[in-house]
């Protein structure tokens, strides 16, 4: 099978899934973290896709509302595309606040709950339009701007101590492949994605957000939907080479933005690519990071290629199997980490995050 088709099959999961909110509350932060910072973060605003979404899509559109999703947290299906907490929750914990309310649920939350920020990310979306009719990142930022303009929840003065997470996890590239565009056009399209990301970062900063965290693209060639071809033993290096091009251009864009603002700590790169690889290769040398015996093998899989995690047949009989202990697995399904996987990634990122957030 053509490597790009394999990549599409894996990324396809991203396009039709999201992480939805898990009973509103995420990982609660701790005030002790605030002593680390040159400023005191009080709000987190999130933009992006299924690696960041905690509740912005209807149940009818997301398999993440089906068992066994959510079995670790909150103990039942609640939307996040994992067995438990996800990236947004762990960044909120690091910042020292509760996980921000999903935009979809803002009218159901009291003012006290809204004080921690808001999550505008929609699973399946990208920088540009994807195969799902959901708000791309430009529209997500529109939602944010409209709320600021209305002034009844947040005002620009509230953003002095705010942080943003901007996630771009690969849906633009799965859409590129689904459109059967020539592989030779891929590098140029990668540049278009990064250029638009730069535009988005400028806009979020112009709206008043103090610090903006931008994860690099994770090693797509290591996702279980790809590594199944090698019985979950090897990553696809040709696909990771494209990811490295994306990340190199992204790092250049962020360096340019920081140079233009004359402040080196406004835009912060979260090196998700190398954090994933460090966890995969961890043999006990990284304190706080779990040693996964088979890091490329997912915990929850369909019983055959026509099924996936959470699938049932027309009689309601489950068509998936799960591992004995989700904490033993880095990946939950074909594309998304387990809660323990995300915990380990943010353990690796902790030192660089601390260094970045100590700067006012």
Q: Which residues are catalytic?
A: 50, 333, 336
Residues with Cβ within 8 Å of 170's Cβ and at least 6 positions away in sequence, in order, are 11, 14, 49, 126, 217, 218, 220
Q: Using CA atoms, how far apart are residues 360 and 357, in angstroms rounded to an integer? A: 7
Helix (H) or strand (E) holding 190: helix 186-206
From 342, 75, 45, select the one nearest 210 (Cα to Cα): 45
**Which pairing describes strands 162-166 and 43-47: parallel, antiparallel, or unpaired?**
parallel
Q: Using CA atoms, how far apart are residues 158 and 149, in angstroms rounded to an integer? A: 12
Residue 264 half-sphere exposure toward CB, CA atoms < 13 A: 4
- In contact, 218 and 273? CB cutoff 8 Å: yes
Q: With b meaning 16 or more CB within 10 Å and e meaning fewer, what string describes 299-311?
A: bbbbeeeebbbbb
The sign of the torsion formed by the CA atoms of 199, 173, 238, 267 equals positive
- In contact, 15 and 131? CB cutoff 8 Å: yes
Helix (H, G, I), strand (E, B) or coil at 44: strand
Helix (H) or strand (E) holding 47: strand 43-47
């Amino acid at each position: 099978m053509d490597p790009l088709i394999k990549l599409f099959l894996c990324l396809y999961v991203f396009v039709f899934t999201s992480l939805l909110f898990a009973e509103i509350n995420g990982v609660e932060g701790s005030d002790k973290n605030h002593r680390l910072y040159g400023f005191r973060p009080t709000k987190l605003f999130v933009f992006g896709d299924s690696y960041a979404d905690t509740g912005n899509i209807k149940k009818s559109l997301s398999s993440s509302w089906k068992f066994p999703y959510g079995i670790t947290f909150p103990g039942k299906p609640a939307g996040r595309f994992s067995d438990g907490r996800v990236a947004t929750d762990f960044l909120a914990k690091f910042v020292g606040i509760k996980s921000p309310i999903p935009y979809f649920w803002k009218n159901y939350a009291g003012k006290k709950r809204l004080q921690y920020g808001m999550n505008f990310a929609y699973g399946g979306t990208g920088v540009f339009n994807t195969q799902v009719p959901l708000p791309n990142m430009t529209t997500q930022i529109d939602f944010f701007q409209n709320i600021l303009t209305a002034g009844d929840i947040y005002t620009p003065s509230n953003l002095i101590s705010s942080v943003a997470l901007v996630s771009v996890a690969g849906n633009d590239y799965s859409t590129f492949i689904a459109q059967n565009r020539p592989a030779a056009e891929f590098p140029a399209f990668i540049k278009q994605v990064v250029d638009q990301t730069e535009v988005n970062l400028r806009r979020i900063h112009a709206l008043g957000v103090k610090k903006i965290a931008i994860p690099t693209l994770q090693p797509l060639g290591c996702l279980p939907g790809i590594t199944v071809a090698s019985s979950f033993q090897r990553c696809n290096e040709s696909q990771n080479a494209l990811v490295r091009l994306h990340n190199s251009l992204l790092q250049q864009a962020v360096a340019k933005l920081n140079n233009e603002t004359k402040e080196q700590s406004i835009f912060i790169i979260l090196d998700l690519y190398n954090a994933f690889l460090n966890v995969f290769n961890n043999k006990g040398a990284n304190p706080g990071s779990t040693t996964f015996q088979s890091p490329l093998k997912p915990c929850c899989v369909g019983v055959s290629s026509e099924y996936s995690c959470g699938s049932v047949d027309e009689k309601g009989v489950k068509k998936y199997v799960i591992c004995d202990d989700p904490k033993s697995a880095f990946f939950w399904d074909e594309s998304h980490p387990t809660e323990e996987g995300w915990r380990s990634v943010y353990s690796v990122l902790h030192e660089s995050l601390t260094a970045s957030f100590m700067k006012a």
